[in-house]
Amino acid sequence: MATLNPYLSFKDQARAALEHYQAVLGGELDITAYGDMPMGTPEDEAHLVMHGQLETPDGLTLMAADTGSMTEHVPATSGVTVALTGGVDDFDRVRAAYERLLEGATDVMPFEKAPWGDHYGQLTDRFGISWMFDVGPA
């Protein structure tokens, strides 16, 4: 089965972001740095993330990488970058993720019951990534 996974691009904060998301969502984090590969990376950028992947206990996959000076960095655009959604059984998990991402967040829309019946909220986390949270009713 094919899956769609967010792949986030950072200039030089992928490791910190992925470690933060692991603290928020749980799971196993695998990081490969540019310096781990035999490709002539500048020494001061060897620690940057070439590929990072977070696999959460409930099946979510979140990936990220740094661009450093090797390629042009394209920052996240306005709008939703990551959507964390679910049904009524997922309410506590989605609400907990929202609350843990609030520290340092901007453009916060509270996670609360929306006019259409879902619990909905949005924020831009401390790394500049925009998140949407939605849990449908029973």
- CATH code at position 116: 3.10.180.10
- What is the value of pTM for the model shown? 0.85
Question: Which candidate, 136, 135, 137, places its Cα nearest to that of 94?
Answer: 135
Helix 14-25 and helix 91-101, axial crossing angle in degrees, nearest 10? 140
Question: Could you tell me if 62 and 101 lie in one domain?
Answer: no
In a domain? residue 130: yes
Per residue in 82-126, pLDDT tens? 889 888 899 999 999 999 999 999 999 999 999 888 999 999 999
Per residue in 12-61, pLDDT tens? 999 999 999 999 999 999 999 988 887 777 888 899 998 999 999 988 99
* Structural contact between residues 131 and 17, judged by C-beta atoms closer than 8 angstroms: no
Residue that the structure tokens 């993330």 belong to: 49
**CA 110 distance to own-chain centroid:** 19
The residue segments making up the domain with residue 101 are 82-135
